[in-house]
Homo-oligomer: A and B are copies of this chain.
Amino acid sequence: MGRPKARVSMADVARLAGVSSQTVSRVSTGHPGVVGSTRQQVLDAMKELGYRPNSAARALKSGQFRTIGVILFTLSTTGNSRTLEAIATHAALEGYAITLIPVAVPTQDSVLGAFTRLGELAVDGVIVIMEVHLLDSATVTLPPHVQVVVVDSDAGDRYTVVDTDQADGARQAVTHLLDLGHRTVWHVTGPEESFAGERRAQAWRDTLTAAGREVPPPLRGDWSAESGYRAGLRLADEPDCTAVFAANDQMALGVLRALHERGRAVPAQISVVGFDDIPESGSFIPPLTTVHQDFAEVGRHCVQGILRQIEHGETEHGTTLVPTRLVVRASTAPPRPA
């Protein structure tokens, strides 16, 4: 296909339509003050030439890129990829594009690197999906006019933060098990760098304490099913253990397998609750009782929050918590009478 010309500019359209390029600009941006017949001529010319506005020129002129950057460490956790998807969808709805800024390793340095690169990137705002104690605001210099929204953090005083209500979710999980009659609840935690994990663990501890129950030693996991399996093997050896709260569904899956291999029936002998409600959790053996996270809602709030800052200049920080909901399936039951 012999391409007629590398790129078609407003000037080309203007020439063909017999108007000035400014009139083309007015048509292109939908400004008023162009009479119908002229507008139509311009539109025809645009179509004939296959005109597309040059976004670089627009951005240069307006200082706005209509783009949101998303910094994240990994897409391999359900939450991150689902949140990103929701962000992308809502941003597209508002006419914003998403630029992905992957950070190879979750260290302070690489996050700093991402923020630095950001200065050169064409973004109006940034959403950070990451544990934020990695960000030491004192050493990070954000380019001016770049707004930030953070997921999975407690930095609500410095940034706008959106997150799932981790604490309430954990509380619901533990309360559900206590209500069933379990004396206490064991916990398989996330990795210690994770704020989400930390908060789930804290709420687990608080709920038990508030109910006057003993707090068993937590078992440290790393979100992976494999780590859940290792924890499960140890739990299977705890004669007193009748209820487990795993900090995510993958680890719960590992716990289920360990208990199954050790011949500990779920839920007859031991009840298990997860966190996330990944699509597969309803197909575990047995189907998992878990805490549902609304990632779509988190993504929606992120975009909403960043756009409020970008477009309306609002800089009021604060934390938005998205509610969770316990989904009761078949992995929990009252404890077997001793």
Contact = CB atoms under 8 A, between A and B. Distances in A.
Nearest to A223: B279
A98 B260 CA distance: 43
Interface in A250-291: 250, 253-254, 256-257, 260, 279-280, 282-285, 287
A274 to B, nearest CB: 12
A54 to B, nearest CB: 7
A143 B52 contact: yes
Interface stretch (A35-43, A55-63, A237-245): A55-63
A31 interface: no
A292 to B, nearest CB: 15
A92 B73 CA distance: 13
Interface stretch (A74-82, A125-133, A179-187, A189-197): A74-82
Interface in A122-162: 122, 141, 143-145
Contact of A67 (B99, B143, B287): B99
A6 interface: yes
Given A54-B60, A63-B7, A279 B76 contact: yes
Interface stretch (A16-24, A201-209, A224-232): A224-232
A52 B120 contact: yes
Contact of A81 (B65, B81, B256): B81
A47 to B, nearest CB: 11
Interface string A5-19: 011000000000000
B76 A81 contact: yes
Given A225-B279, A228-B283, A102 B76 contact: no
Contacts of A100: 84, 88, 97-100
A216 interface: no
Contacts of A55: 120-122
A313 interface: no
A19 to B, nearest CB: 21
B56 A225 contact: no
B260 A283 contact: no
A229 B143 contact: no
Nearest to A102: B88
A92 B97 CA distance: 17
B97 A253 contact: no
A257 B283 contact: yes
B76 A84 contact: no
A65 B6 CA distance: 15
B279 A280 contact: no
A56 B53 contact: no
In the A-B complex, the 9 residue pairs with the closest CB atoms: A225-B283, A56-B59, A52-B119, A81-B81, A75-B85, A98-B100, A56-B60, A88-B102, A55-B122
Interface of A: 3, 6-7, 50, 52-57, 59-60, 63, 65, 67, 74-76, 81-82, 84-85, 88-89, 92, 97-102, 104, 119-122, 141, 143-145, 224-226, 228-229, 250, 253-254, 256-257, 260, 279-280, 282-285, 287
Given A56-B60, A225-B283, A228-B283, 5 more contacts: A53-B120, A55-B122, A56-B56, A67-B99, A76-B279
